[in-house]
Every structure is written in structure tokens, then in C-alpha cells.
Amino acid sequence: MRAFFPIAIALALGVSLAGCGGSSEESELLTRRGAALVNSRQSVAAVEVLREATRKNPNDAEAWYWLGLASEGTGDWATALQSYERATHLKRDHADAWRHLAMLYGNTGRVREAWEVTQQLGHINPDAAAFVADWLRSRFPQEMPMLTPSAPQEE
């Protein structure tokens, strides 16, 4: 019991344990910790933890996705966009990352990019894409007709 106690404390505090697993395992632990911080609205602390997770494993799509969420929470749109883009690059079917990327593009006025990402999302999760498309149409009614393909004309 005594040998287990310090390890349990270290893991609870998110302390890295040399020799107790690869950077992939450490990244996963850090990502879970960062996600918990995001979910408890502690975005600044989450960014620090999730940056470490992405340093430990730059190919961890989930760490990049959660870093995007945390960065949005701090108002750092550039980092959020880069993080979502990285997550979608690493995991092409990451519907949540595609959805957040599309909505953040929309929120930053990049309507064309938002529409293109929404089209990509449609291949993965049509319901989520329909939700984002409706949101874009309601938020940007002037821009949407030029982006939405017109229906064929009946004769």
C-alpha cells in the first residue's frame, strides 16, 4: 500500500513519472486532465496542460481537439483554429473537431471557409453538418446564396 500511495498522488496531480510509460500514455493522461479542466471552465489551466499533451504526442488528435476548445475558452481564436485544423488532419473523421472548426470560422467572419468545412463535415456526420449549415444561413444570409449550390430549375 505504501509504494502505491506516492504513485497515486503523482498521477492525481498530473506529475510525469519517468519510466512509467511512453509519451503516448502521458499524453492521454494529460488530455483527460485537460478535458476535465475545460469541462469545469478552467480554460487557462487547460491550455497549459493540453499544450504539454501535444508536446508529448504531436499526433494525438484528441489533445489537439481539446486544446482547440480550451483556446476558444480563453479567446485565442488563432490557436483554436490551428488546433482544430491539426485534429482534423490527424483524424479525418473527427466530427466534433470539424464542427467546431466550421463554427469558429463562421464566428470569425470566414464564411467561405466555414461553408467548405461544413461540406467536409457532411461526409462524416450529415446531421451535424445540417445544424452548422442552418446556423450559417441564419447568421450570414447575404453570403450564403453565393455559397449554396442552387437547386435545378424545373421547366
Q: What is the mean pLDDT of residues 81-94?
A: 98
**pLDDT of the residue at 145:** 65
Q: What proportion of the chain, given as a percentage, has pLDDT over 90?
A: 75
Query: DSSP code of 19?
Result: T
Domain ranges of the chain: 21-75, 92-146
**Tell me, what's the pLDDT at 147?**
62
Q: Give the whole-angstrom CA distance, residue 62 versus residue 83.
A: 10
Q: Which of 9-23, 119-133, 141-155 has the lowest mean pLDDT?
A: 9-23
Confidence of residue 24 (pLDDT cuts 50, 70, 90): confident
User: CA 26, CA 21: separation in Å to the nearest integer?
Assistant: 7
Find where cell 510509460 sits.
Answer: 21
Q: Is 34 helix (H, G, I), strand (E, B) or coil?
A: helix
Q: Are 40 and 71 in contact (CB under 8 A)?
A: no
Q: What are the pLDDT digits (tens) for 48-71?
A: 999 999 999 999 999 999 999 999
pLDDT in the model for residue 6: 36
63 near 31, Cβ under 8 Å?
A: yes
pLDDT, position 146: 65
Whole-number mean pLDDT of the chain?
85
Condensed to tens digits (0 to 9), the pLDDT of residues 102-145 reads: 999 999 999 999 999 999 999 999 999 999 999 999 999 888 76
**Does residue 15 carry a pLDDT above 70?**
no
